[in-house]
Structure 1
Amino acid sequence: MLGLFKRLVHSKSEDVIRCAAVVPAAGSSSRMKGQDKILLPLAEQPVLVHTLRALDQCTYITQIIVVTREDLIVPVGQLCRDCGLSKVSRVITGGATRTHSVLAGVREVDENIPLVAIHDGARPLVSQAVLAAAILRASECGAAAPAVPVKDTIKRSHAGLVDATLERSELFAIQTPQVFERSLIRAALAKALEDGVTLTDDCSAVERLGIGVALTQGDYCNLKITTPEDMAVAEALLAWRENE
Structure 2
Amino acid sequence: MAVSYKAVSGKTYSLFGSDTSTDLYFRTIRTIADSLLVLCPDPRTLLLHVQKAGGMRFKKGSDYAPDDALIAHIRKTLHDALHAYTQAVREHLKGIPFSQRFDKTIGTKEEGYHLYMLEIELVNRIYREAFRKSDYKFALLPHCLRDFRPQCKSVPGDMEYICMGCTEDCFVRLGSRLLKKYGIEPYISVTTDQERLFRRLKEEHPNIGALGIACIPELAQAMRLCINLGIPPIGIPLSANRCARWMRQAYETSFSLEELEELI
TM-score interval for Structure 1 and Structure 2 normalised by the shorter chain: under 0.3
TM-score normalised per structure 1: 0.26
TM-score normalised per structure 2: 0.24
Q: Which has the higher strand share?
A: 1
